């Protein structure tokens, strides 16, 4: 099993502490900003997110959020594709159980 850590700076004491625990259990996949940081040195795989925000003076985390979501969506897509038919069937079954009353009102969204 792999552990994922998502951190913009990669340098807070709490993140470094979690990294040490995660690294001792399995491989570490790190999603972090471009540039050097403590955790990056120990990660098995580094997936860089965009770095367009200041550490403290940013208004919001728009670019890093969107960048991180893109990376996670791509990872999920690759994982899902490995056993596509099985995963799709499982997803349909779970959705029917989890959302039994959900109905589409838009013709495009109606299931076959």
pLDDT of residue 34: 85
> For residue 89, what pLDDT is reported?
95
For residue 20, the model assigns a pLDDT of: 75
Is-contact 30 16, C-beta < 8 A? no
Catalogue the long-range contacts made by 62-65 (C-beta closer than 8 Å, 24 or more residues apart): 64/8, 64/33
How confident is the prediction along the chain (112 residues), in pLDDT tens digits per residue? 788 888 888 878 888 888 777 777 788 899 998 888 888 888 899 999 987 777 777 777 788 889 999 999 999 999 999 999 999 999 999 988 988 888 888 989 888 7
DSSP three-state, residue 2: strand
Predicted local confidence at residue 110, as pLDDT: 83
The per-residue pLDDT for 46 is 94
What does pTM read for this prediction?
0.72
pLDDT of residue 88: 95
Is 47 in a helix, a strand, or coil? strand
How many angstroms separate the CA atoms of 53 and 61, rounded?
Answer: 7
pLDDT of amino acid 64: 86
What pLDDT score was predicted for residue 68?
93
Do residues 9 and 31 make contact, with C-beta atoms less than 8 angstroms apart? no
């Amino acid at each position: 099993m792999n552990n994922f850590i998502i951190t913009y700076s990669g340098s807070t004491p709490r993140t470094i502490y979690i990294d040490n625990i995660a690294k001792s259990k399995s491989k570490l996949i790190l999603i972090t900003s471009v540039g050097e940081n403590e955790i990056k040195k120990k990660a098995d795989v580094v997936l860089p997110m965009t770095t367009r925000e200041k550490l403290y003076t940013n208004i919001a985390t728009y670019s890093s959020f969107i960048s991180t979501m893109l990376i996670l969506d791509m990872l999920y897509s690759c994982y899902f594709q490995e056993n596509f038919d099985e995963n799709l069937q499982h997803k349909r079954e779970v959705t029917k159980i989890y959302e039994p009353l959900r109905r589409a009102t838009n013709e495009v969204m109606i299931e076959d």
